[in-house]
Amino acid sequence: MRVCSSREYSRDRKKGHLMVEIPKKSKAAVLEEYNRPLKIQEYPIPEVEPGGILVRIEMAGICGTDVHQWRGELGLKAPLPNIPGHETVGRIVKLGGDSMRDCAGEQLHIGDRMMWAHVSCGSCFWCTIAHQPTICPDRVLYGIRHSNTYPHLTGGFAEYEYIMPGTEMIKVPEELLNEEVIGVGCAFRTAVSAFERLRGVGTQESVVIQGSGPIGLYSTLLAAEGGAGKVIVVGAPKIRLELAKRWGAGHIINIEEAPDPSQRLAEILKLTERRGPDVVVEASGGPTAFREGLEMVRKGGRYLVIGQGSLELTASIVPGMVALKHLEIIGNCSAEIGHYAKALQFIKEKRQEYPFADIVTKKYPLNQINDALAAMEAGKEIKPVILP
């Protein structure tokens, strides 16, 4: 039997199995203290138990949530130390079973690329009765677990990651590039889930997207493809707004050129027959954006809140505005594995129409993780990624 290097695969000719050499340890970027640089450490690679999977990370995206986690602003206080990174594409190097399948029923093999969801308990009220597993109180979150606890490697900012038994997963179609699909690991699947809760966009409805980061950009795609008559994106910097136009925005408002909310509101009213948009999607994560969105949405309109992922940030609002404007406010947290599958299918069907890979604006090696986080925090990149 021939064994290949850790960057190559070979086949056991007698059994027809792909083989890959697996090292004893994996490097990982570790968050030890909030607001302090992540440190590169080594962890032992765990044995793969029945139902588990070991993957070699091919690409890990930097998400806005990673920045909040680094600052200590997440409502779910991540235990320290931890290995962040929940937006990941990995290639299988070891399987804990001979007949393991993904959520679509596809057989899994060594060498397959895959993505995976967080693990809900499957037995609580939210999982079984409410059918809302994304808010399961016992959900195990990749990228947020204590890294000193076995199996250690449960975050994407590493060379290898361990996928625990019970995790729902989906194969990545081989024709799709990592750059095209990396956003499915968080922003795109979240937008798909949120638009389902919104019950879609009505034909020719006007939609304002607050924020031009990844969630805002994928929301722009879904609004444009969903039948919106007008899609207006409010955000910055220019690099993100240019991609928003290529992804379906008919109008953009640069907050660096229109820093006053009243100026932005006036422009939006002009574009929406003085009524305001039918739908507003909050995808910025900025605390002041929520109040601004309530003011701009038309009477009787709908407000979809996706970007507010921190319980540390607050905003003052007038509660009567919700009642007097007869508003419907919809919140969304994360997504299920089916939303990953739908997002991947969307990319597969529409990749000739939209430059999905353009969301990745810079690639960093693992030892430059702090530079990548700083670039995301400053908004200099759309989607910085790590190539371990």
Rg from Cα positions in the chain = 21
Do residues 304 and 280 make contact, with C-beta atoms less than 8 angstroms apart? yes
| Rounded Cα gap, residues 276 and 51, in angstroms | 51
Average pLDDT over residues 67-81: 83
Q: What is the mean pLDDT of the chain?
A: 93
Closest by CA to 171, choosing from 120, 113, 122, 255, is: 113
Taking alpha carbons only, the member of 82, 78, 98, 77 closest to residue 31 is 82
DSSP reduced 3-state for 231: strand
The pLDDT score that the predictor gives to residue 360 is 98
User: Which pLDDT does position 75 carry in this prediction?
Assistant: 64
Residue intervals of the chain classified under CATH 3.90.180.10 are 10-172+355-386
Return the CATH superfamily for domain 188-331: NAD(P)-binding Rossmann-like Domain (3.40.50.720)
First CA to last CA distance, the chain: 28
Tokens of residue 218, six digits: 């994928």
User: Rounded to an integer, what distance in angstroms lies between the CA atom of residue 383 and that of residue 258?
Assistant: 24
At 334-384, the pLDDT tens digits run 999 999 999 999 999 999 999 999 999 999 999 999 999 999 999 889 999
Mean pLDDT on 245-273: 97
Q: Could you tell me whether strands 328-331 and 302-305 are parallel, antiparallel, or unpaired per DSSP bridges?
A: parallel
Query: Which of 55-59, 75-79, 97-101, 265-269 shows the lowest mean pLDDT across its residues?
Result: 75-79
> With 80 as the cut, is the pLDDT of residue 312 above it?
no
Query: How far apart (Å, rounded) are the C-alpha atoms in residues 352 and 285?
Result: 30
Distance from C-alpha of 66 to C-alpha of 216, rounded to nearest angstrom: 17
- Which residues in the chain are classed under CATH 3.40.50.720? 188-331
Average pLDDT over residues 306-315: 78
Position 40 scores a pLDDT of 98
The count of other CB atoms within 10 Å of the CB of residue 164 is 18
pLDDT-derived band at 68, boundaries 50, 70, 90? confident
Superfamily classification of domain 10-172+355-386: Medium-chain alcohol dehydrogenases, catalytic domain (3.90.180.10)
pLDDT band, very low/low/confident/very high, at 147 (cuts 50, 70, 90): very high
